[in-house]
Amino acid sequence: MAEQITAPEAERKKTIFSAIQPSGTITLGNYLGALSNWVRLQDEYRCIYAVADLHAITVRQDPKAFKQNILNAYALFLACGVDTDKSIFFIQSHVPTHAQMAWVLNCYTQFGELSRMTQFKDKSQKHADNVNAGLFAYPSLMAADILLYQADLVPIGADQKQHLELARNIAERFNGVYGNTFRIPDGYIPTVGARVMSLQDPTRKMSKSDENVNAWVAVLDKPEVIMKKFKRAVTDSEARVCVGEGKEGINNLIGILSAVTGKTAEEITLEFEGRGYGDFKTAVGEAVVERLRPIRERFDELIGERAYLEEQYRKGAETAQMISQRTLDKAMKKIGFLPR
């Protein structure tokens, strides 16, 4: 009898939720650090992924560019291998429960908690002329995204750890007042995948907001551009391809080559023994070009297939709406709202 009760729970595929903002440029860092993991996780888990467009308006967006960026992000993630037959993939603003739940959770989130978020502190310094309430409440929208789907696991980068911790606290607080309503999500730190650093200053994370365009590679960069950026990558004066202290540039390139080819750092070290950095940088560039080529080609096809894209994101939104509405209704009922 006990077995009958526990078996379905044990067999239940765990739910993963993650989202990425449509920022205009998806970098090699985004791909190797996040997207390639999204793709890998699809067989093992019930994956729910979103383009987080609501989060993006916490900073001012140009309307035309914003619309294009949302569509491009959706198409690019599909091109990378997000599979709408296996996973639920939608655009956040298409599913109104996110904004609704965010409001509800705002009322269970403390001013002090939000004030302590390091991302808020950083961004309000960077955009001192537009420190809006949305920027402040950003983490409760993110909590809504996650909690609406009763997610077990949330793949996130280090910069989002504090937000996930807050989402857990909000959920625990709500459950404490009203009884079990939300599953408490755990962070998922993938075993594969790389933290990709700037090609120009390898002590910093690769970021498309870097003023030096040679510091980052975009997934959709042309092969010539990718090669040029890798040839200019900063190294060191030791002229030995191996992992080591003070060799951040080479460590980063080894990490990238390892992530795109599946070879280990040891295999790479052996392969390049006695060879110069010029050779090595060319090899890393070529491997990245080959890894990204099919993605760029698929993106170019998809972006012309407007009807197909619409069909996919509508399907995703419908399913997401159905699942998330249940959680929203449950939470609102517990609070005491009068159902319509």
- Pick the closer one to ligand TRP by CB: 160 or 251: 160
Backbone angles phi, psi at 226, to 5 degrees: -60, -45
Least distance between ligand TRP and beta carbon 279 (Å):
36
84 within 8 A of 315, measured Cβ to Cβ? yes
The yes or no reply on residue 26 touching ligand TRP (CB under 6 A) is: no
Least distance between ligand TRP and beta carbon 35 (Å):
12
Among 95, 156, 166, 253, contact with ligand TRP (rule: CB under 6 A): 156
The yes or no reply on residue 229 touching ligand TRP (CB under 6 A) is: no
Write out the H or E segment, with its range, that includes residue 50.
strand 46-51
* Contact characters 52-71, ligand TRP, x per CB under 6 A: x--x----------------
* Catalytically active residues, by annotation: 123, 205, 208
- Pick the closer one to ligand TRP by CB: 22 or 285: 22
Least distance between ligand TRP and beta carbon 19 (Å):
4
Among 30, 72, 87, 160, contact with ligand TRP (rule: CB under 6 A): 160
- Pick the closer one to ligand TRP by CB: 188 or 299: 188
User: Residues 6 or more apart from 260 whose CB is under 8 A from it?
Assistant: 32, 287, 288, 290, 291
The yes or no reply on residue 196 touching ligand TRP (CB under 6 A) is: no
Nearest Cα to Cα of residue 35 among 2, 103, 83, 3: 83
* Sheet with 15-20, edge to edge strand ranges: 88-91, 46-51, 15-20, 153-155, 186-188
Least distance between ligand TRP and beta carbon 7 (Å):
30
The yes or no reply on residue 49 touching ligand TRP (CB under 6 A) is: no
The yes or no reply on residue 91 touching ligand TRP (CB under 6 A) is: no
**Tokens at residue 160, please?**
């989002």
Strand partners, 155: 188
Strand partners, 49: 18, 89
- Pick the closer one to ligand TRP by CB: 17 or 313: 17
Task: Report the distance separating Cα 38 and Cα 183, nearest Å.
Answer: 21
109 CB neighbour count, 10 Å cutoff: 21
321 within 8 A of 148, measured Cβ to Cβ? no
Site for ligand TRP in 125-154 (CB under 6 A): 142, 145-146, 154
Among 15, 16, 21, 226, contact with ligand TRP (rule: CB under 6 A): 21
DSSP assignment, residue 34?
A: I
* Chain residues that interact with ligand TRP, rule: CB under 6 A: 17-21, 52, 55, 142, 145-146, 154, 156, 160
